[in-house]
Amino acid sequence: MLYRRAGAQSPALRDRSVVVPPAPRHAVIPHCKATETGSSKSAPAPPKPPKPGPVGASVPVTVGQAPDGKKVVSVTPPPQYTATPYTAGRVSSASLDEEEDVLPLRNLRKHLKPMDSPFVVDNNRGGGFVGDRDRVRLHTVEYESQESAGAFCADGIATFGDEDVCLVLPEWAIRCGPRKTIYADPTQVSAAVVTCGGLCPGLNDVIQNIVYTLRDYGVPEDNILGIKYGLRGFYERDEKPITLTSEMVDGVHLKGGTMLGTSRGGANIKEIVRRIDLWGLNMVFVIGGNGGNAAAHAIAEECEASGVVCSVVGVPKSIDNDILLVDRCFGFETAVEEAQRALLAAKVEASSAHHGIGLVKLMGRQSGFIAMQASMASGVVDVCLIPEIQFDLQKLNEYVAKVIERKGHCVVCLAEGAGQNVVKGASKGGTDASGNPILADIGPIVKDSLKDYLKGNCDIKYIDPTYMIRAIPTTTNDRVYCKVLGQGAVHGAFAGYTDITVGLVNTHYVYMPIQTIIQAPRRVNPTGRRWNRLVSAIGQPNFS
C-alpha cells in the first residue's frame, strides 16, 4: 500500500514495507516534531503548535522510518472541549489562533467585504447559523489492529486502482451551511449554473435549489444564468445562456435529464474565464462528475491567475457513485432502485425458461457500486461481477453451470467496466471527452461465452437498462439530498469560498477542496465489508 497526502501536487510515496499503526483517534497525525516510538526513554513534551496560517491550512504529514530503523509518527495533544448545557454536544474551547488539522479550503475573502447575512433578522428562520470553525470528523472508526477489516488505510481513503494508494487525510472537514457573515452583496451578485457530463437523476433538482437559494438570499432573478449544453455553452454562439427564474424552475424536479442540456469535454478554460469576467459573474456553480469538478478546479485556478474574483463551487454528480470521500453521490440511490427492477425482471425471465440465464449489465466504468448495491438489495442475484475484481471466464462458466444444475436458472449482474482483463484487444483504449476510459462491451462477450460453454442448452435474456436508469426523476431520498446540496453550494459561495465542492461525508454535509476529490475515482474495496456481505449472502466464489 502506498501512502500520499491528499491534495498534494507532487505526492511523496511511502514504501509499502513501512507499516505504521494508525494513531489513536484522540491524537491527530500531522504537525508536531516526530517522536521516537518503541524507545525506553520517556517522550518529550509536545512542542507548542507553530504560528497558524488561515483556518484550514494544510501541513504535510510526518510519518516514516528513523535512521535506526525505528518507526516514527508525529502526534499533537488532544483538542480541548468544554461541556455545554442542555446536552448541546462538544464545543471546542480552542482559540481561533490555534492551528487545525482540517481539509484546506480556498477563499476570496481578502478581495471581498464582509456583511451580515440577510437571514440574521430572524436567526435564519430560527435555525441559527454554521460557524467557520464547525468541523466534521473524517476518521470515525477506531480499529483494534491492522488485521481488522478496513484498517489498512485508517487515516485516509484508498483508491484501489492498478496500484493501491492510501490518500492520507486530515482529521477534520469544514461543515457546510449558512454563515452569519457573508462576503457578497446579494443585490450585486451575478451567478451562472452549468451541468456537465452524462445524465444522472437529480440534475434538475440541484439546478432548482441553487436558483431558489440564490433568490432567498436576495439575488435578482435577472442575474441568474443557465449555461446551455455544458461548459462550451459559455462561449459557443449557437446556444445563448438563459435566465433562470423561480417560475422557470418550478416543477422541473419532476422531470428527468437536465433542463440546461449537457455535454462532455470541450472546455476552453481561458475562454470560459474571459466570459466570466466579461459578464461580471461572481459565482459559478458546476454540477458534474470527476471531469466536471476537474474543470471547475481549472476555472478557479485560471480566475486566480487572471485576477478575476469569482467563487467557483462544484456539486459532485456521479451515477456510478465514484467520487472520492463522498458517502454517496446524488442519483445513486435512484439508480440502484431502478437497477433492482431490471434484476427482478431478469429473475422472472430466467426462472420461466428451461436453463434460463438472466444477464443484466449496469453502469459502472471503474466502480461497481451500483451492481453491488442492486445485487444486495434485489436478493435474486447469483453472480455479481465488478471492475475492481478480475475474473476468469472459464471459472465463471463452470459456476453458472453448477447454479443452473442446482436450481434450474441463474441471474448474473455485471458492471460495464467488469472483465476488461478478459477482453484485451477488444477495446480501442484511450479515454472519452470527459477523460473516462473507453471500454470493451463486456455484456455480449459474457453472453457468448456462456452460450458456447453450455453448448446452446440455455436460454439467455440479456438486459441493458442503462439509458432508462439515467433518464428518470429522483426517488424521495435523492430528492431531499439534492435540495441540501443545492442550498449548501450557494451557502459556500456566499461564505467567500472558491474551488470547493459540497457533499455528505460520514453522514454530515461538508465542504471539500475540489483537488482532493478528483485525484482518483472511488472504488469498491475488494476486501471490505460491503463486498464481503454480498458474496457471503449469495455464496459467490472467487473467479480470479
* 52-66 confidence digits (pLDDT tens): 334 333 333 434 444
Pairing of β 311-316 and β 156-158 = unpaired
**What's the domain range around 387?**
332-424+433-472
Is 396 part of a structural domain of the chain?
yes
Q: Are residues 182 and 286 in the same domain?
A: yes
Q: Are residues 322 and 406 in the same domain?
A: no
Annotation says 116 is catalytic = no
Query: Quick one: pLDDT band at residue 146, thresholds 50, 70, 90?
Result: confident
76: DSSP letter:
B
Is 535 part of a structural domain of the chain?
no
**What pLDDT was estimated at residue 438?**
81
**What pLDDT was estimated at residue 42?**
42
Is 349 part of a structural domain of the chain?
yes
Q: Which of 432, 404, 400 lies closest to 416 in space, CA to CA?
A: 432
* 82-113 confidence digits (pLDDT tens): 444 433 444 554 534 445 789 999 999 999 99
**Euclidean distance between CA atoms 48 and 506, whole angstroms:** 30
**Euclidean distance between CA atoms 170 and 155, whole angstroms:** 8
What does pTM read for this prediction? 0.82
Is 487 part of a structural domain of the chain?
yes
Mean pLDDT for the stretch of residues 413-430:
80
Domains in the chain: how many in total? Answer: 2
**What pLDDT was estimated at residue 96?**
40
Is 345 part of a structural domain of the chain?
yes
Residue written as cell 520517556? Answer: 42
* 169-223 confidence digits (pLDDT tens): 899 999 999 999 999 999 999 999 999 999 999 999 999 999 999 999 999 989 9
**Euclidean distance between CA atoms 262 and 228, whole angstroms:** 7
Question: What is the CATH classification number for the domain harbouring 468?
Answer: 3.40.50.460
Is 369 part of a structural domain of the chain?
yes
Has residue 387 got a pLDDT over 50? yes
Residue written as cell 459532485? Answer: 316
Which grid coordinates belong to 497? 469560498
**Euclidean distance between CA atoms 358 and 345, whole angstroms:** 8
Catalytic residue among 205, 320, 322, 382: 320
Has residue 403 got a pLDDT over 50? yes
Q: Are residues 376 and 448 in the same domain?
A: yes
pLDDT above 70 covers a percentage of the chain that reads 79
Q: Are residues 254 and 192 in the same domain?
A: yes
Q: Are residues 325 and 347 in the same domain?
A: no
pLDDT higher at 13 or 411: 411
- DSSP letters, 486-542, are HHHHHHHHHTTEESEEEEEETTEEEEEEHHHHTSS-----TTSHHHHHHHHHHT---
Total number of residues shown for the chain: 544
pLDDT above 90 covers a percentage of the chain that reads 68
Burial class of 131 by CB neighbour count within 10 A (0 to 12, 13 to 18, 19+): middle
* 516-529 confidence digits (pLDDT tens): 999 989 999 998 89
**What pLDDT was estimated at residue 61?**
42
Q: Are residues 382 and 416 in the same domain?
A: yes
Residue type for position 355: H
**Euclidean distance between CA atoms 354 and 47, whole angstroms:** 74
Is 494 part of a structural domain of the chain?
yes
